[in-house]
């Protein structure tokens, strides 16, 4: 149960607010400044809406919209004025916040970056999207792995940005590193609605982990984002679901202590444990090998599908981006 969105908060609860932010259209530094102010104002709205809210989550592209504009003039820096405004707002309103920036990259295309800031204004998590939504998105693939941080009231937080959540390996890594709540921020549009819902539920169930997920909402005159904020409990059951209403804040109370309890005491369907302990009834401790060829090949840098050479779309030309000649540079 969701505690009626936090109206009846329990001592062990974490109340999360998901902001179905109106899809912005930002092309100039002045518009970027105005959108930053709007996000900070909505954070204040979230606090006024719920005095017990612990964490407010804004969607991917909350400052930039879906234009895929990589103009350096509207890119952000880790220590830039937009981040400073977010930190000040979290401190002022005594609340944790999750935000999205497009981060300037001096070596290539910008990063699609998410941050979690605590209620004292400290940056607790800094994450670069691992899987840009190619071929549509031009962003540099993330090079910081998947960080996890301590959150409010016994929570452990991880962040997956939009398309990241379509890869079960990303959610598994979040849980493997100890996250009991995975945030997923997105700018998805209506054709992805069904995939959005089932992956949010699968990411929760397969990892015994709460997922809190939110998209942009409304139209910028070109695109229509879908809103559809949803919080899914660790058993895969949706707790609350939003509509497509722009700037609506969906709230739910989640219980990280019950996630932690289930991970210890569940036997049947404790799948994240059983992945590394196959068949422990028949074999003491279970088999702890790695029978998955794709994992072994990826570690060796030899990941190749049987149909790899036949894949038709392998660059962004179809969306107006010239093929890149620059190789990936790990941090």
Catalytic positions, written as ranges: 60, 129, 162
Question: Where are the extended beta strands (E) located within the chain?
Answer: 14-20, 55-57, 96-103, 111-117, 123-128, 148-150, 156-161, 181-186, 210-215, 217-219, 224-226, 230-232, 238-241, 248-254
Q: What share of residues in the chain are helix, strand, coil (percent, to 5)?
A: 30, 25, 45
Closest CA to 96 of 74, 124, 75, 134: 124
**Helix (H), strand (E) at residue 176:** helix 168-176
Tokens coding 324 = 């890149």
- In this structure, how many other beta carbons lie within 10 angstroms of the beta carbon of residue 35? 21
Q: Is 224 left (phi over 0), alpha (psi -120 to 50) or beta?
A: beta
For residues 95 and 55, is the Cβ–Cβ distance under 8 A?
Answer: yes
Question: How many angstroms separate the CA atoms of 142 and 139, rounded?
Answer: 9
For residues 62 and 24, is the Cβ–Cβ distance under 8 A?
Answer: yes
CA distances, 263 to each of 206, 257, 258, 285 (Å) = 11, 10, 9, 17
Count Cα neighbours of 66 within 13 Å in the Cβ-side half-sphere.
Answer: 23
DSSP state of 141: P
In this structure, what are the phi and psi dihedrals at residue 185, rounded to the nearest 5 degrees? -110, 145
């Amino acid at each position: 149960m969701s505690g009626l969105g936090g109206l009846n908060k329990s001592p062990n609860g974490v109340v999360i607010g998901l902001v179905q932010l109106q899809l912005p259209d930002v092309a100039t530094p002045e518009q970027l400044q105005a959108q930053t102010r709007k996000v900070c104002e909505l954070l204040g709205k979230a606090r006024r809406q719920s005095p017990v809210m612990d964490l407010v989550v804004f969607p991917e592209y909350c400052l930039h919209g879906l234009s895929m504009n990589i103009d350096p003039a509207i890119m952000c820096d880790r220590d830039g004025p937009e981040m400073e405004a977010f930190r000040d707002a979290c401190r002022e309103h005594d609340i944790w916040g999750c935000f999205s920036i497009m981060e300037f990259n001096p070596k290539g295309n910008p990063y699609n970056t998410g941050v979690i800031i605590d209620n004292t204004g400290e940056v607790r998590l800094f994450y670069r999207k691992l899987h840009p939504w190619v071929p549509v998105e031009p962003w540099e693939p993330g090079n910081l792995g998947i960080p996890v941080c301590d959150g409010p009231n016994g929570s452990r937080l991880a962040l997956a940005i939009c398309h990241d959540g379509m890869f079960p390996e990303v959610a598994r890594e979040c849980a493997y590193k100890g996250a009991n709540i995975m945030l997923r921020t997105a700018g998805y549009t209506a054709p992805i609605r069904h995939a959005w819902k089932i992956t949010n539920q699968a990411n929760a169930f397969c990892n015994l982990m709460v997922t809190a997920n939110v998209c942009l909402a409304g139209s910028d005159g070109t695109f229509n984002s879908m809103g559809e904020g949803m919080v899914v409990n660790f058993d895969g059951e949706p707790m609350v679901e939003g509509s497509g209403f722009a700037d609506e804040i969906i709230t739910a109370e989640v219980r990280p202590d019950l996630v932690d309890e289930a991970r210890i005491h569940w036997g049947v369907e404790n799948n994240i444990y059983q992945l590394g302990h196959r068949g422990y009834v028949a074999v003491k401790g279970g088999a702890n090998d790695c029978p998955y060829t794709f994992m072994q090949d990826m570690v060796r840098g030899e990941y190749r599908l049987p149909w790899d050479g036949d894949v038709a779309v392998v660059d962004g030309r179809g969306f107006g981006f010239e093929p890149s000649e620059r190789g990936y540079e790990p941090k």
